[in-house]
Structure 1
Amino acid sequence: MTDHALRLLRGDGRLASLAAFPFGFDLARAAHGHVEPVRLASGGPLEVVAGDDTGGTYFLCADGSVLYADSEGSAGVIGSTVDEALEMVVGLPGWSDYRNLSPDDGEAAILARVAETEDELRDCYGIDEERAELRAALGFADRSPVELVGLLHSALLRTEPDFLLLNEEELCAYERLDRHARPPLWEPVLATGRADLALLRSGDHTVRDALADDAIRRRVALRAAQFDRAEGDLDLLRHLLKHEAASSMTDELRLGAVLVGLHGHPEDLPLLHEVRDTDFDTGCGLSDVPGTDADAEELRGWARGLDEALFGTDPADEPASTWTELALDQGMTELARVELIRALDEIVMDQSKLRSPRGQQRLDTSPLHWLAVEFERLGDLPQALRAQRLYAALQESAWDRVSARLTQARLERTSGRPGDAARTLTLLRDILAGPGDETLRNWQGVNLGRFVAEEHCALARTLAEAGQGAQARTVLTAAEAVIGELSEAAAKGVRELAGETARQVRGLS
């Protein structure tokens, strides 16, 4: 990390004053922090080093990058080091006007824009002598505006995924500071698959053997083959399909079967049937594979129908879940996190995005359920809870409301919020007591009732371990009341757990 210039500013009042005005890098404002509590989605540390007179804040990140957040909810990296950020701020007074410029705009356009902005600044105060003095004192070269805009552009493109800024209370993401296009998630996700596919086509047996044993690489290679189809791929597709069966029924297994079937070779039908018969799940998932006596046209027609309905050749048409799941599988955690947070933010800001195409008044809340599951999978319980709470609030039937609140309580408990979990379970019991519809009429005799009792016991133990004896006893009493309503069969499996919980809770002083 290069922070030589920052140390000079901190040690020289005259230089610090120049940096603050007219260049808007005011060290004194660091003591006031940002306009609201914030944190990085990745969990990395942030240090406020300066601010400006618009309410913007300069943060120092763990790797030395400088993240700037304005007061309107936008943020972006503006330098890979403090020195680089300061050099840009000093060299480009009014730099925020250039956030959407890039080297592709050309030298003439960049220089014209900078000249226009700086002329406006000169009408209000001096910048030229001040810039020369500060550059000399901090050891900065006299770089051209074009070069500095290029540095700013490169820095801004590094903002995501590692430096996505969140409002700490609401957990929603700041908007990007710029409007530059970014590659879609599927591009980095497919990169290894495309490389493997190229090696397979070249006859690389090392890769061929590796993909037989590596489920993740195999899945990504099949996705790469989906979007880059070639007549000569049939043999490698057979190889990938045969080994993908070891993963049981996956989307990629169905994809592999479709890609093989599209070639229309009836001699592949025994392989397709062998794959279908791997286990119960594959038997169900591939139950519509044509019979072994099918001809080429029937086989090709079956594959074409599934391809048009489920796959296709444009990665942009794939649901976001395809790419976030493959990103997580490959360890691209922060890329997946950014995609998921942005998706959740869109729904939070505009619930009409959940409108069901089959009925304009009905909401399809399944995207929220999926988001909660994916956030929990990557270990981001606060975001999982944010999605689950909204999901629970939008459920209509009593059964769905109880099920959603049950998951919400579990997430609250496991994320260290037992008080919230206790309140959620109270809401859940209120629904059981007055459901308002018939969907819960048999809850006492099915697994839902047992799950409710088990979550009460789990929360009572958590509260007991935290030394919150009174609240633990309250939750335990509620658990015993729930168990008392269960059928004999449903209660049988949870009574022992309740007994152990009671001994733990009542053993507290």
Structure 2
Amino acid sequence: MTDRVLELLRTRPDLADLAAFPFDFDISRASHVEAVHLASGASLEPIAGDDTGGTYFLCGGTAVLHASSDGHASLLADSVSEALEILVRLPWWCENVSAELDEEGLLAAVQEGDDEAREQFAPELDTQRDALLAGLGLPDRPLTELHALAESATRRTEPDHLLLNSVELCAYQLEDSYRQPLRDIVLAPGRAALERSRSGDPAVWEEAAADPVLRAGALRAARSDRHDGDLPLLRFLLERENDVRTERFEERWLAAMLVGSYGQDDDVPLLRAATGGQITASAEAVDWARTEETRRPENEFVWIDLAQRQGRVEHARTALIRLLDDTGPDADRLRDLSRALERLGDHAQAARAQFNLLSLQDAPEDRAREASVLARLERRKGDLPAAARALDRARSALDAFPQGRRLGLGRLITEQHLELTLAAAEAGADELARATMTHARPLLAGIAKESAKSLSDLSTRAKWTVARLPSGNASRALPDGTGTPSPGIS
């Protein structure tokens, strides 16, 4: 459903002209300087522009996001109606408004800005403002309430309204003061559980212990906020970690580290079980805990992992994209980011990190391995020609490291050729499927027998799929409407 105020602006030229000048919300400029999209995948529609090249977008059909031409973006309001209220009653030329001002102070700040605007470019400002407010049917709410709405919207820009450049996939900037640290977001449930447990409610212990995600949050909250009286709770959580013995050992190790730091003789059997026999005395426990605390610092990936486990997928995605934007030629960091983004299911961003990682590889075996990973990511994001180009690079690197054919590296690259063959055939990219299978055959012949056997089902399907393709040179279009280049042709 079209927003009422937006529909009025589109059908009433007189109101649209007033919104455009002097309030700089021009629906005739509903286009942006570059292709953009929301990281969350929600709908994004340009609805107006300003005279500096910035654009107002409708997000998910309701909220209004403003993006500047210099790469900044923030949520302005939860509706077009609220956005126009803010722009008309707290206009851009009022530079002295702030959350610290009361109603009287805000009125004075707006009046000061209005006086300058009347003198410099809008002598009929009062008449224009009254006409636009009346024509759009906007309320006359207190300025403190209106300013609070604007501030609240800006603080909710992330994670759901993170704006990306659609070509480079980099995120638009948001002032740090409006961004809540991911650490604080994901620790909030654990901190709350920890505080309730300290209040003496025994039911909270079982609540925290029964939920593995809440248990993880409570342990990490306890690490950052140590209390002498927490030992019984920590001991209880460690007992539960020992009982469940999941494949996730991080929390068991963390619980053991926290319990061990107290150095109690009675805890030695529990610590011995948790650490596989490493702890045999209370003095050892204290030294071990200190060493582990230094060896296992908390970092961004800890909070990203916890966010995913809590179901905060967009928070995790936002943090990973921001990290990637800020990462230079750091191979280890790029690899971590690529793998984390792939686990999240964001193959486009994972491929961006992987492409940068590949550019840093000097050894041919490393180039071959990382190019194979890039091919997998490009295929999964749906860019089959890019996947073929990545496999070109993998084969070239493998030619410089021939012994890799008989190792796991050869199997890895062969598998990606077979997967791309099937994906290309399914997408109707017949020539790409044939060409990729042509490269796959000698790779299959060159890898170890055990590797070839493990790929037998996949290779059989790929061979039969290519055999069933229509004869002739005509190639169907890819789903995006482009043609199908042969591998290695940009």
TM-score, L = length of structure 1: 0.85
Aligned partner of 2:12 in structure 1 is 12
Give, in angstroms, the shift of residue 182 of structure 1: 3.0
More deviation, 393-402/130-139 = 130-139
Partner Cα distance (2:379, 2:351) in 1: 10
Query: For residues 106-142 of structure 1, what are the alpha-carbon distances to aligned partners after superposition, in whole Å with 9 as ceiling and x for unaligned?
Result: 6687556544533332222221221122222223344
Give, in angstroms, the shift of residue 336 of structure 1: 1.2
Aligned partner of 2:447 in structure 1 is 486
Relative to 1, partners in 2 of residues 1:147 and 1:210: Cα closer, same or farther, differing over 3 Å? Answer: closer
More deviation, 320-329/219-228 = 219-228
Q: 1:238 aligns with which of 235, 239, 249?
A: 235
Query: For residues 295-320 of structure 1, what are the alpha-carbon distances to aligned partners after superposition, in whole Å with 9 as ceiling and x for unaligned?
Result: x4343222223224434xxxxxx310
Matches within 5 A, 1:37-436: 37-62=35-60, 64-94=62-92, 97=95, 102-104=98-100, 113-122=109-118, 123-126=120-123, 127-143=125-141, 145-176=143-174, 178=175, 180-245=177-242, 246-248=245-247, 250-277=249-276, 289-291=278-280, 294=281, 296-311=282-297, 318-347=298-327, 351=328, 354=329, 364-433=330-399, 435=400
Give, as a single letter, the amino acid of the residue that structure 1 aligns with 2:373: T
Give, as a single letter, the amino acid of the residue that structure 1 aligns with 2:13: G
More deviation, 245-254/369-378 = 245-254
Partner Cα distance (2:133, 2:405) in 1: 75
Aligned partner of 1:499 in structure 2 is 460
Aligned partner of 1:280 in structure 2 is none
> For this pair of structures, how many residues does the alignment match?
466
Relative to 1, partners in 2 of residues 1:6 and 1:374: Cα closer, same or farther, differing over 3 Å? Answer: same
Relative to 1, partners in 2 of residues 1:157 and 1:118: Cα closer, same or farther, differing over 3 Å? Answer: same
Q: What's the Cα RMSD here? A: 2.3
Relative to 1, partners in 2 of residues 1:185 and 1:105: Cα closer, same or farther, differing over 3 Å? Answer: farther
Partner Cα distance (2:94, 2:422) in 1: 53
Give, as a single letter, the amino acid of the residue that structure 1 aligns with 2:164: L
Give, in angstroms, the shift of residue 257 of structure 1: 0.7
Residue 339 of structure 2 aligns to a residue whose secondary structure is helix
Give, in angstroms, the shift of residue 149 of structure 1: 3.1
Aligned partner of 2:485 in structure 1 is none
Aligned partner of 1:281 in structure 2 is none
Relative to 1, partners in 2 of residues 1:429 and 1:309: Cα closer, same or farther, differing over 3 Å? Answer: closer
Give, in angstroms, the shift of residue 413 of structure 1: 1.2
Contact 1:161 1:338 (C-alpha < 8 Å) held by counterparts: yes
Partner Cα distance (2:44, 2:453) in 1: 51
Give, in angstroms, the shift of residue 147 of structure 1: 4.4
Partner Cα distance (1:261, 1:52) in 2: 60
Partner Cα distance (1:500, 1:454) in 2: 12
TM-score, L = length of structure 2: 0.89
Partner Cα distance (2:63, 2:458) in 1: 51
Give, as a single letter, the amino acid of the residue that structure 2 aligns with 1:455: Q
Relative to 1, partners in 2 of residues 1:423 and 1:441: Cα closer, same or farther, differing over 3 Å? Answer: closer
Give, as a single letter, the amino acid of the residue that structure 1 aligns with 2:323: A
Relative to 1, partners in 2 of residues 1:493 and 1:5: Cα closer, same or farther, differing over 3 Å? Answer: closer
Partner Cα distance (1:162, 1:444) in 2: 45
Give, as a single letter, the amino acid of the residue that structure 2 aligns with 1:416: G
Aligned partner of 1:358 in structure 2 is none
Partner Cα distance (2:101, 2:321) in 1: 31
Relative to 1, partners in 2 of residues 1:61 and 1:487: Cα closer, same or farther, differing over 3 Å? Answer: closer
Contact 2:378 2:386 (C-alpha < 8 Å) held by counterparts: yes
Contact 1:372 1:385 (C-alpha < 8 Å) held by counterparts: yes
Aligned partner of 2:25 in structure 1 is 25
Contact 1:114 1:145 (C-alpha < 8 Å) held by counterparts: no
Relative to 1, partners in 2 of residues 1:4 and 1:250: Cα closer, same or farther, differing over 3 Å? Answer: same
Partner Cα distance (1:94, 1:488) in 2: 70
Relative to 1, partners in 2 of residues 1:403 and 1:13: Cα closer, same or farther, differing over 3 Å? Answer: same
Relative to 1, partners in 2 of residues 1:489 and 1:139: Cα closer, same or farther, differing over 3 Å? Answer: closer
Contact 2:65 2:73 (C-alpha < 8 Å) held by counterparts: yes
Matches within 5 A, 1:431-450: 431-433=397-399, 435=400, 440=401, 442-450=403-411
Relative to 1, partners in 2 of residues 1:116 and 1:96: Cα closer, same or farther, differing over 3 Å? Answer: closer
Structure 1, gaps ≥5 residues long? 278-286, 312-317, 355-363
**Identity percentage over the alignment?**
44
Give, as a single letter, the amino acid of the residue that structure 2 aligns with 1:275: A
Q: 1:475 aligns with which of 436, 446, 449?
A: 436
Contact 1:464 1:472 (C-alpha < 8 Å) held by counterparts: yes
Relative to 1, partners in 2 of residues 1:265 and 1:172: Cα closer, same or farther, differing over 3 Å? Answer: same
Aligned partner of 1:508 in structure 2 is 469
Give, in angstroms, the shift of residue 6 of structure 1: 2.7
Structure 2, gaps ≥5 residues long? 471-490
